[in-house]
Chains A and B, each alone.
Chain A
Amino acid sequence: MNVPNERKLTIARAMAEAVQQEMQIDPSVFVMGEDIGALGGVYGNTRGLLEEFGSERIRDTPISETAFIGAAVGAAQDGMRPVVELMFVDFFGVCFDAIYNLMAKNIYFSGGNVKVPMVLMTSTGGGYSDGGQHSQCLYGTFAHLPGMKVVCPSNAYDAKGLMTAAMRDDSPVVYMYHKSLQGMGWLATEPGATVHTPEESYTLEIGKAKVAREGSDVTIVSVGLGVHHALKAAEQLEADGVNAEVIDLVSLVPLDRDTIRASVAKTGRLIVVDEDYMSYGVSGEVIASVTEHDISVLKAAPKRVAYPDVPIPYARVMEQFCLPNPDKIVAAFKDMKAA
């Protein structure tokens, strides 16, 4: 289908464009991270920025995450609006204190006297055999800890609007982008992520979920890549005469519980799809949002299609065995029907 004036961008380009436009109008915005300068980011999300803004505002860092993320906190409290990159979310292990004891708590500790307007962007996800230190999602880990907003776009339109909103937010925002949606030359990309993206700057409200597909028989809730799995599962289910509604959470913190509840009130069935580890995470939280509120709307026990509680294996057959996919979602629905 040819849409007039359609402007399809990858998430990588959408992110870079959002940062570029904000840097043009706000001198306090700057970028720090590993390989975000000449390389333009391992995930392309800072491409072209060094050429336009120079190395004073586009800063390649040493491999010193504790230092530069901590420094971003200090700069944010002092009037700047840093955008920092943690190349893979898995690397949080070496710098989590700066993130959750400083970035996430300093507003609270100051009783609101200081602001921490910073964005921590980080890549998530596996499926390409990069092993257990380069493939995690860790959505639940970040969303669990109070004091940081957490967003997770499933397409380029949302990616741009979320990035602009995140940079304008006076609170820290963790911006988690999925590698398989990013549009890199070296990794296959889910085509549904590359969508029309307006050129002019715009924001997307943080904390607001979207109905990605309307339906009446079952609600499938997910985030990031999982939204695309859910949409594919919904198509398969449609062939069986089942009408699935798909909710794209877009933000994990704040979590839009109202949208989830309204959908499940309509469908009576809930499946949560999460590429993060199953236990103590997003999938349980989404289910609790419904069951704590009004269990009577449910016609069946909710289901989870999530990553099993094991480190991520390297071998393709093992990793694929663990990952959520559309077939598993369909199977979960059939299981639910049988129950």
Chain B
Amino acid sequence: MAPTRDEQHWMYRNMVTSRKFEETIAGIYFEGKTPVFSMADGPIPGEMHLSDGQEPVAVGVCAHLNPEDVVTATHRPHHQAIAKGVDLDKMAAEIFGKATGLSGGRGGHMHLFDADVNFACSGIIAQGMGPAVGAALSRKMQKKPGVGVAFVGEGAVNQGGWHEAMNLAATWKLPFVCVIEDNDWGISVSKGDSTAISNNADRAAAYGIPGVRVKDNDPYAIYEAAGEAIARARAGEGPSLIEVETYRLAGHFMGDAEGYRPEGEKDALFEKDPIPKMRAKMLADGIASEAELEAIEAESAARVEAAIKFARDSADPAPEDALTSVFA
């Protein structure tokens, strides 16, 4: 199953929007943090985990999702949020800690919540699993359409909570898909140094469900694997597991010196940047003209610029609002 022309345009647009968003955030992040770097300073304080390079996973999966489907993401959520259709203005404002943000500045970059498109995050590794499985359970019990999708990093697969959620989803045959973004690193620890097997899709066998590993960050192959898994979930046939080989083109968080990366690894990864690759393929396949691609790129850049302007122009929350919203 290949993505249609329109789907490919949508996928490319979201990849470019995500990358543009991350590049813009990266530039702004250092404002107010020089000459002495302190994470506490500047318009965007706190940890910042960028998703450059991992865009194909988000778009290949979310191309199959509707707003009613439930997605949980991680500490590295921007690409997934964008592909799931989270309001970009409010998302940018949340990252700037503004009153107009998704949660009025209470959550921040690791806690993006947009109930309109059923998107949520947890900064605790693997803890998006339970809520996504629970959403799948709720849909099944309510006989409502919709699937639960949990995006996790390859490091999350070594958490007990990950296995518990997988078993629960499989035992109850829930409409759930777990998508592992294998960027080979959990902060400074490589997958090989932390994980007993090299292909986490093999772990699906432990739950008696299908498991697929997609190689080389290929948006088309991701689209295909996710399409099958989500169709299976929608048909009531139970959960699936997908692991995607993807690339972390940035540090773990901004300010990471990445001394642990082998020499030359990053240069090699930039060679395989998925965005120019998809662009070239769309051109070669006659799916998009140069002019169309340029228009997509310009529109994406304008969209990001508008969101950042909205965020910058928005007011800070009232300090005492910190005390509100604790209970429903």
Name A residues whose Cβ lies closer than 8 Å to a Cβ of B: 34-35, 37-39, 42, 60-64, 66-67, 90-91, 93-94, 127-134, 185-188, 308-311, 313-322
Q: Is residue B326 contacting chain A, with contact meaning CB distance below 8 A? A: yes
Q: Is residue B24 contacting chain A, with contact meaning CB distance below 8 A? A: no
Once bound together, how far apart are the Cα atoms of A319 and B123, in whole Å? 18
Q: Is residue B84 contacting chain A, with contact meaning CB distance below 8 A? A: no
Contact between A67 and B111 (Cβ–Cβ < 8 Å)? no
Contact between A131 and B110 (Cβ–Cβ < 8 Å)? yes
Instruction: Tell me the smallest distance from the CB of B195 to a CB of chain A, in Å.
Output: 7
Number of A-B contacts (CB under 8 A): 154
Chain A residues whose C-beta falls within 8 Å of the C-beta of B319 in the assembled complex: 317-318, 320-321
Instruction: Tell me the smallest distance from the CB of A165 to a CB of chain B, in Å.
Output: 29
Once bound together, how far apart are the Cα atoms of A131 and B155, in whole Å? 21
Once bound together, how far apart are the Cα atoms of A314 and B106, in whole Å? 5
Which residues 241-262 of B have a CB within 8 angstroms of A? 255, 259-260
Contact between A308 and B322 (Cβ–Cβ < 8 Å)? yes
Chain A residues whose C-beta falls within 8 Å of the C-beta of B156 in the assembled complex: 63
Q: Which residue of A lies closest to B187 (CB)?
A: A35
Once bound together, how far apart are the Cα atoms of A61 and B187, in whole Å? 12
Q: Is residue B105 contacting chain A, with contact meaning CB distance below 8 A? A: yes
Partner of A63, one of B98, B105, B122, B158: B158
Once bound together, how far apart are the Cα atoms of A188 and B109, in whole Å? 21
Name B residues whose Cβ lies closer than 8 Å to a Cβ of A: 36-41, 45-47, 94, 97-98, 101, 104-111, 122-127, 155-156, 158-161, 186-189, 193-195, 255, 259-260, 316-323, 326
**A93 and B124 in contact, given A186-B37, A317-B316 (Cβ under 8 angstroms):** yes
Instruction: Tell me the smallest distance from the CB of A232 to a CB of chain B, in Å.
Output: 18
Q: Most chain-A CB neighbours within 10 Å: which of B108, B160, B259?
A: B108
Once bound together, how far apart are the Cα atoms of A67 and B156, in whole Å? 13
Contact between A128 and B316 (Cβ–Cβ < 8 Å)? no
Chain A residues whose C-beta falls within 8 Å of the C-beta of B155 in the assembled complex: 62-63
Q: Which residue of A lies closest to B322 (CB)?
A: A318
Chain A residues whose C-beta falls within 8 Å of the C-beta of B41 in the assembled complex: 188
**A66 and B111 in contact, given A61-B194, A94-B124, A310-B326 (Cβ under 8 angstroms):** no
Q: Which residue of B lies closest to A187 (CB)?
A: B39
Partner of B46, one of A42, A94, A130, A185: A130
Instruction: Tell me the smallest distance from the CB of B324 to a CB of chain A, in Å.
Output: 8
Contact between A130 and B47 (Cβ–Cβ < 8 Å)? yes
Once bound together, how far apart are the Cα atoms of A93 and B130, in whole Å? 14
Partner of B159, one of A94, A129, A314: A94
Chain B residues whose C-beta falls within 8 Å of the C-beta of A42 in the assembled complex: 187
Contact between B37 and A62 (Cβ–Cβ < 8 Å)? no
Instruction: Tell me the smallest distance from the CB of B50 to a CB of chain A, in Å.
Output: 16
20 contacts between A and B (CB under 8 A): A62-B186, A63-B126, A63-B159, A94-B159, A94-B160, A128-B46, A130-B39, A131-B107, A134-B47, A188-B36, A310-B322, A310-B323, A313-B105, A314-B97, A315-B97, A315-B105, A317-B318, A318-B106, A318-B321, A322-B322
Contact between A129 and B97 (Cβ–Cβ < 8 Å)? yes
Contact between B105 and A38 (Cβ–Cβ < 8 Å)? no
Chain B residues whose C-beta falls within 8 Å of the C-beta of A66 in the assembled complex: 160
Chain B residues whose C-beta falls within 8 Å of the C-beta of A308 in the assembled complex: 322-323
Once bound together, how far apart are the Cα atoms of A64 and B320, in whole Å? 37
**A128 and B45 in contact, given A64-B160, A322-B322 (Cβ under 8 angstroms):** yes
Contact between B158 and A62 (Cβ–Cβ < 8 Å)? yes
Contact between A314 and B46 (Cβ–Cβ < 8 Å)? yes
Contact between A185 and B259 (Cβ–Cβ < 8 Å)? no
Contact between B195 and A132 (Cβ–Cβ < 8 Å)? no
8 extra A-B contacts, CB within 8 A, seeds A62-B194, A94-B124: A63-B159, A94-B159, A127-B40, A308-B323, A311-B106, A314-B106, A314-B111, A316-B316
Partner of B188, one of A38, A67, A132, A315: A38
Q: Which 6 A-B pairs have the closest CB atoms?
A: A314-B108, A315-B105, A315-B97, A321-B319, A128-B40, A129-B45
Q: Which residue of A lies closest to B41 (CB)?
A: A188
Chain A residues whose C-beta falls within 8 Å of the C-beta of B122 in the assembled complex: 133
Contact between B111 and A129 (Cβ–Cβ < 8 Å)? no
Q: Which residue of A lies closest to B124 (CB)?
A: A133
Once bound together, how far apart are the Cα atoms of A130 and B47, in whole Å? 6
Q: Which residue of B lies closest to A131 (CB)?
A: B108
Contact between B123 and A60 (Cβ–Cβ < 8 Å)? no
Once bound together, how far apart are the Cα atoms of A179 and B248, in whole Å? 26
Chain B residues whose C-beta falls within 8 Å of the C-beta of A61 in the assembled complex: 189, 194
